[in-house]
């Protein structure tokens, strides 16, 4: 039984990921922002769990102080953490800023999982075979890291900001895997879950998806649990198979530079 933290687990793909993991007998830690939604999610997952633990932890991924508190709470409450599924994400059609002054899409979709992952790396490594699963999107293939305007202050477009944040997930995955080395205590992989009719897709993109929420969760569950992936790291998956990253994610110098920028923005404990 693995102990698995799923961020953004109160609805959509995150909740379904937790359900599927619970059916497999894993100890679930559900993350959400609001207490009432967290409790409703816990009750839904408990019905699938067959007696295995289902617990909750609250945190606002739009505030770095809250992300730090979340990391500290997880490390303090649970002596073991095997898998971190960075699932939470947002889409904003209009530019919004967080309490830290960051553009909200960039902050929630990239800076929060970047910081949280670094804060929990030691706990994940202690498990002996830790895994980080980053939920990206095929939208990353249309993304570009605008180093001169990361926060969209000069020219904001909702889809462009989202695509940049999803490219950020892939670049982070590849660069963290490189820094952790070829035989790491923690593996890190990214995925495209499919085109699923979640609230994010409907409200953000104004469209319906072709994939069910069950299908959307399958690749996250696969990366979190498949024995054959125990030593696989630095890869991008779609539909439970390895995919090819977009051109924007293929330049290692961009990945290194972006990692360093992300460290500077979050204050995360950097890896050499």
Enumerate the active-site residues.
Answer: 162
CB proximity list for 245: less than 8 A, separation 6 or greater? 140, 141, 170, 174, 236
126, 80 in Cβ contact below 8 A? yes
CB proximity list for 86: less than 8 A, separation 6 or greater? 7, 113, 116, 117, 132, 133, 134, 135, 169
Q: Which helix (H) or strand (E) covers residue 67, if one does?
A: helix 64-77
CA angle 268, 224, 167 (to 5 degrees): 50
Using DSSP's 3-state secondary structure scheme, residue 58 falls into: strand
DSSP string, 156-209: --HHHHHHHHHHHHHHHHHHHHHHH-SS-SEEEEEEE---B--HIIIIII----
40, 10 in Cβ contact below 8 A? yes
164, 145 in Cβ contact below 8 A? yes
């Amino acid at each position: 039984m693995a102990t698995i933290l799923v961020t953004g687990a109160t609805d959509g793909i995150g909740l379904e990921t937790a359900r599927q993991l619970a059916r497999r007998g894993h100890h679930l830690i559900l993350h959400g922002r609001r207490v009432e939604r967290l409790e409703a999610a816990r009750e839904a997952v408990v019905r699938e769990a067959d007696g295995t633990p289902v617990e909750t932890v609250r945190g606002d991924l739009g505030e770095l102080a809250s992300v730090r508190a979340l990391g500290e709470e997880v490390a303090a409450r649970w002596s073991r953490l095997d898998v971190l599924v960075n699932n939470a994400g947002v889409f904003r059609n209009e530019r919004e800023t967080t309490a830290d002054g960051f553009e909200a899409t960039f902050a929630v979709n990239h800076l929060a999982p970047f910081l949280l992952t670094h804060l929990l790396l030691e706990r994940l490594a202690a498990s002996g075979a830790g895994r980080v699963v980053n939920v990206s999107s095929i939208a990353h293939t249309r993304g570009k890291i605008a180093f001169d305007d990361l926060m969209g202050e000069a020219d904001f477009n909702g889809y462009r900001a989202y695509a940049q944040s999803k490219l950020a997930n892939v670049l982070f995955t590849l660069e963290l895997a490189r820094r952790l080395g070829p035989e790491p205590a923690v593996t890190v992989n990214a995925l495209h879950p499919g085109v699923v009719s979640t609230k994010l897709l409907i409200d953000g993109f104004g469209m319906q998806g072709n994939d069910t929420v069950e299908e959307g969760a399958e690749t996250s569950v696969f990366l979190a649990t498949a024995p054959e992936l125990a030593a696989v790291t630095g890869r991008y998956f779609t539909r439970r198979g390895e995919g090819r990253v977009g051109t924007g994610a293929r330049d290692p110098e961009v990945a290194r530079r972006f990692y360093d920028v992300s460290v500077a923005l979050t204050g995360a404990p950097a890896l050499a």
